[in-house]
Amino acid sequence: MTGKVYLIGAGPGDPGLLTLKAVRVLKKADAVLYDRLMNREILTLARKDAELIDVGKAPDNHPVPQHRINEILLEKALKGMTVVRLKGGDPFVFGRGSEEALYLTERGVPVEVVPGVTSAIAVPAYAGVPVTHRGISSSFHVITGSDGCGERADWDSLSRLKGTLIFLMGVKNLESIVSNLLKYGKPADTPAAMIMWGATPAQKTVTGTLADIVRRVKEAGIKNPAVFVVGGTVGLWEYLNWFEGKPLHGRRILVTGTIDAEKGQPEDGPFDFLEDAGAEVIHCPTVKIEFDYGETAGFLANAGDLNLLVFTSKNAVTAFAGAMRRMRLDLRRLGGATVAAVGRKTAERLEEVFIYPDLVPEEFTSKDLLEKIPAGGGGKRTAAVITSDIGGQELVGGLEARGYRVMKIAAYKNLPNYDVRERLIEELGKGVDAAVFTSPSSFYRMEQMVGKLPEKLKKVFIAAIGPTTAAAIEKTGLKVDVCPKEHTLEGLQKALLEKFVGRGEGDGGNKKAQEIEI
């Protein structure tokens, strides 16, 4: 049975501009062919087992030529796969999407187009340049700025247009574009703007007139991808430049954390405060969770009389509930044991499976939980700690010191997520302003994968979600710059904002605390 190909426009850079339909289709795709300009965060929406194929092209560098891209789409579809061709902007606006669609349609492969927000409109908007404005411009015109535009364009007609002219990918040919516009009568004092990496935290806008824009662009070091805008609406940039004025614009913040074992996506939640403040948040979850039901099943089979059951993380709860489901056991198996959770998110996950914890510490740490647990009566009381293969040491030792007989149940494995290793190396090579660690293991696993973190992070702000994580990092000789009083993602974001811009509030953001446990 022949599969289907979806041509999806991913917008110009900001993942938030992806349409709801694009997200829905991307989540069910078997294979995704994506471009060089694609924001990598969009790829995290794909299924964890989806085949991701980089077919990106740069000016004068086409590692995967167009004819081969067509062939790959056909090959995957003929295998019965649901295939997504993920393209920057809109697939039918200088994206060669119509060529791919015709190639596939002629060979009997069904094609569906999911339009995207074109950079021709979105990039100027992010720079505060409307493409139309009453009394200034009643039309806009989109022209390719790539090689050959000089010969193909009707410069006489373009120069006489009163509307806004928008040239895509025209940095290389800027001098020719401007020269032709002036030659055919466009006034030299016509406002012009070049916008590089539009709708991304790396956005940079240079404004001027046709008389001096070429010089200004060269002096600013502007390169593709960029959008060149000519017309009176460029003059509104001075008043409407909302995006580049954000307090964290240009800041790159690397977030480690954990990959969700079930969804294959970062489980540490959004970083709305930082993104709303203009930062580029780079999600590279360094910890991969693998559920191990065997040890939990063995414990449940011989649980006996248990006095205390402690869950150290929401993954511990998920693994424990999964083992109960597999064994067809219910809450009666727990008897009258007191249930404790290290942190609010763990407690919330317990309540989702109808286990309501008796003890949840106000501070989301093992130390604070131990202070709330009654003495164990000199070995007469038993406790089980549901945790990872590398976690739970502090709780086990603390409970034994309080007189409990303790069993550690390794419900899941905490592993390095090698899927992000190449991207980690790439992003560290580009340079980041801050690195965020949400558990000691998120730091250890990153060091395991890329090595020499004290050297790689010595000029980077380091943020740790809590004192345990901070202590693990500082043992290596690194200095932790941010450790919030509230050990949650919300508290961490506020602390980073305060560190960078001297205040802790953001425009919106996730109001719900999200602590990450070891």
C-alpha to C-alpha distance for 334 and 296, rounded to whole angstroms: 13
Place of tokens 């509104």: 236
End-to-end CA distance of the chain: 46
Q: Which two tokens stand for residue 45?
A: 């929406």
Q: Coil, helix or strand for 79?
A: coil
Active site residues: 35, 57, 169
Q: Which two tokens stand for residue 309?
A: 């059951």
User: What distance separates the 2 farthest-apart alpha carbons in the chain?
Assistant: 95
- Yes or no: say if 473 and 293 are a contact pair by the CB < 8 Å rule: no
C-alpha to C-alpha distance for 402 and 379, rounded to whole angstroms: 9
C-alpha to C-alpha distance for 463 and 473, rounded to whole angstroms: 10
φ, ψ dihedrals at 89, nearest 5°: 65, -130
Residue type, 280: E
Helices (H), 366-518: 366-372, 393-401, 421-430, 440-450, 453-456, 467-474, 489-501
Place of tokens 């065997």: 294
